Amino acid sequence: MCRPEKPLITSNTALRELQEWLREQRERTRQGYRALSVRAGCHATTLQRAASGETVPKLPTVLNYARACDASPEEARRLWKRARFEETRLARGGRGRPAPRPEFIRDFIDLSAALVELYEKAGSPPQRTMAQRAGGYGALPRSTAHRIVNKQAVPHGLQQFQAYMRACEVPEAEWPDWEAAWTRAWRQEKQNDLADLTIAARDAYPSATARALAALYTETPGLNEMRYLRKLRELQEADGHLYVTSNGVLHRAAAEVKHHSNTGLRRGRRRPGRSPQVPERPVPGQLSIPIGDPESEAAAPLF
């Protein structure tokens, strides 16, 4: 005869559901906690606390409990994630609205909130675990995962976004909706950047450069930052600087002179030791594009 279980006192309804499920599995096997601990490979008190404590037990404990009872580990994991998510929500005082579903995501604010909710629904795993789940080396660095779950950044490329989906154990059948949401958010962010840049571009930059920037910013999202950098380097600014993007924010970066006379080199490669910086005002003929006199050249409209 097994000892009677302690009464459930938790206010976490999802945790209560998990504990009731664990108790049902043990009752089905008709085993006491001491006998169950032998099969589970952990102490009997640990198993008993998992089925009656006020806090969510660790996932390995729940899985060992289920394995000792010949119960479904998938169901145990699902119930544990719900309990962990509810615990996180209660720790915030139950404040905050639910994040929008993928089809309702429009900008970075919506996307960031939804990504944090995915992380919490996955059980708030450690960043080390997320990096391991994400795939190959560097697919989702721990520092990047930390910034994403703290609403300090969003994935900058489609591959990194997919790595985050894997890290949060999102079923691949749901990925298309999330990828569409990520694309909309990036497109909206680039449109906002272009709107902020328009007035300054009309006054400060040649019209050809401004139009090239506009064409780049209306391009379909999904390019990683290295490709952004390669494309933006071709827009050699008259002031000797380029503007590259990092999570939708423009940054100045010094441009490199392109030596088109090196016909023997493949496109995109430079002769070693030949990477001088563009001066503040290039001399005529230094760049492959004509540069007019800024005092006499009137700025053309952007569009």
**Model pLDDT for residues 148-175, shown as the tens digit of each residue:** 999 999 998 889 999 999 999 999 999 9
- Token pair 């009309």 is found at 202
pLDDT of residue 233: 52
Checking if the pLDDT of 25 tops 90, the result is yes
pLDDT of residue 119: 95
Strand, coil or helix: what is 252? strand
pLDDT of residue 17: 93
Q: Is the dihedral of CA 178, 224, 195, 251 positive or negative?
A: positive
For residue 205, what is the DSSP state? S
Checking if the pLDDT of 231 tops 50, the result is yes
Mean pLDDT confidence for 222-244: 49
Mean pLDDT confidence for 225-238: 49
Q: What is the pLDDT of residues 170-191, one digit of tens each?
A: 999 999 999 999 999 988 887 7
Mean pLDDT confidence for 42-46: 90
Model confidence at 296, pLDDT cuts 50, 70, 90, reads very low
> What is the pLDDT of the chain when averaged over all its residues?
74
Mean pLDDT confidence for 119-131: 92
As a whole number of angstroms, the distance between CA 166 and CA 146 comes to: 15
Helix pair angle (175-204, 158-167), 10° resolution = 140
What are the residues facing 241 on neighbouring strands?
A: 254
pLDDT of residue 125: 92
CA angle 33, 38, 41 (to 5 degrees): 105
Percent of the chain residues topping a pLDDT of 90: 41
As a whole number of angstroms, the distance between CA 185 and CA 24 comes to: 45
Q: Which residue has the higher pLDDT, 215 or 118?
A: 118
Checking if the pLDDT of 271 tops 50, the result is no
Q: Residue 232's closest CA among 223, 244, 219?
A: 244
Model confidence at 9, pLDDT cuts 50, 70, 90, reads confident
Checking if the pLDDT of 107 tops 70, the result is yes
Contact present, 206 and 138 (Cβ < 8 Å):
no
